[in-house]
Amino acid sequence: MSGEKPRIIIAGAPASGKGTQCELIVEKFGVVHISTGDALRAQVKAETELGMKAKEFMESGGLVPDELIIGIVKARLAEDDCKTKGWLLDGFPRTGVQAEAMIGAGIHATHFVLLEVPDEILVERCVGRRSDPDTGKIYHLKFHPPPEDDAELMARLVHRADDTAEAMGNRIKSYHENVKAVTPFYERLMQTFDGQAEKTGIADKVAAFLGTTPSSSGGASGGASRGGTSGGERGGGAVPRILMA
């Protein structure tokens, strides 16, 4: 991709394998992986003006407004590591409103990576997940089962309260509504990948895509509407640009 640094947005539903692909993209391209949650917490910890404003909303249990989130993302992307290495923006923008605001703030991606997995597979992946609170390791009762002969491990495995078919269905519905509003802004930069394929196979195809130049302008498609709900965040040189929702 010539001498330009990657600026990547990646999008995918819960349990789509987005986290794994983010790790592989960082390993392959050396870009800075950024989630809005991490950027928000860093601003609060540093007690910046943006961070202090966001903290007020977080402590009251409210959503941090889009304009604050955009400001925090813009500040993070302006840091030296993002300028010299490029960046991978994970799960943002979440809504059409955020996408439009991000473009208006002068934040332009070079690539948009979209992972697609059928809803029923997403539910199956999610419902079978179990986590080890001691190690942080994630298992799956079908796809990556824990060792049944380890009674101590089996006893402490946790099934998250939101890893149910009903909760997952609601999360998937919200994701589809939001990503439908975001993608029109990035049509010229976007490629869709089959998230059911083997992870290294997906990674190889993503890497090939990131080695191309989808848009000479590096901008988003024009004329998209301000779709999607307001997506405030709740508290709790050129480099390749990758966007994942």
113/228 Cα distance (integer angstroms): 19
151/122 Cα distance (integer angstroms): 28
Catalytic residue among 45, 137, 142, 160: 160
Question: How far from chain centre, in Å, is Cα 124?
Answer: 21
Token pair 């101590």: residue: 152
Burial class of residue 236, CB neighbours in 10 A (0-12, 13-18, 19+): exposed
Residue 10's SS3 state is: strand
| Residue 244: both structure tokens together | 């994942």
* Residue 241 a catalytic site member: no
* Residue 125 a catalytic site member: no
Letter for the amino acid at 101?
A
* Residue 18 a catalytic site member: yes
* Residue 129 a catalytic site member: yes
Catalytic residue among 83, 156, 171, 188: 171
* Residue 160 a catalytic site member: yes
Catalytic residue among 94, 125, 130, 241: 94
Catalytic residue among 5, 55, 76, 129: 129
What are the DSSP E strand ranges found in the chain? 7-11, 32-35, 63-64, 87-90, 111-116, 129-131, 138-140, 190-194, 233-234, 241-244
Cis before 118? omega within 30: no
Catalytic residue among 18, 76, 85, 241: 18
Catalytic residue positions, numbered: 18, 94, 129, 160, 171
